[in-house]
Amino acid sequence: AQSVAQPEDQVNVAEGNPLTVKCTYSVSGNPYLFWYVQYPNRGLQFLLKYITGDNLVKGSYGFEAEFNKSQTSFHLKKPSALVSDSALYFCAVRDAWSSASKIIFGSGTRLSIRP
């Protein structure tokens, strides 16, 4: 069965500092991996995905994520945090075999950027 783990409920970073939000996954085959962000009273916004190819993928708002197959990790990163990055971040995984496959979400990590 597929699963995603986000070990940190909350990450606190000062504005301008680099940030990392951790994610590890477990799948039986090749994974499709995603990061979504949820702002208060809003839906889930797609940030980036890994399907195949380069292990470093770039997404919206300056975010990037590094796929590490040996460590089964897909950590979200940003070189310089902004206060507006404060939100709830979800790592997610999907089976590659079917376009109709469900997405399995992690429990979420609340990112708080202090001025």
In angstroms, the first-to-last Cα distance of the chain is 41
Site string for other proteins, 91-110 (x = CB under 8 A): ---x-x-xxxxxxxxxxx--
Q: How far is the CB of 35 from other proteins (least distance, A)?
A: 10
What 3-state class would DSSP assign to 21? strand
Q: Residue 107: which of 90, 94, 87, 86 has the closest Cα?
A: 90
CB of 23 to other proteins, least distance (A): 13
Cβ proximity to other proteins, 5 vs 82, nearer residue = 5
| Cα 25 → chain centroid | 11
| Interactions with other proteins, residue window 40-99 (CB under 8 A) | 42-46, 49, 51, 90, 94, 96, 98-99
Dihedral, CA of residue 12, residue 74, residue 109 and residue 97, to nearest 10: 170
Minimum Å gap between C-beta 6 and other proteins is 9
Q: What phi, psi does 85 have (nearest 5°)?
A: -75, -10
Which positions lie near other proteins, rule CB under 8 A? Answer: 32, 34, 36, 42-46, 49, 51, 90, 94, 96, 98-108
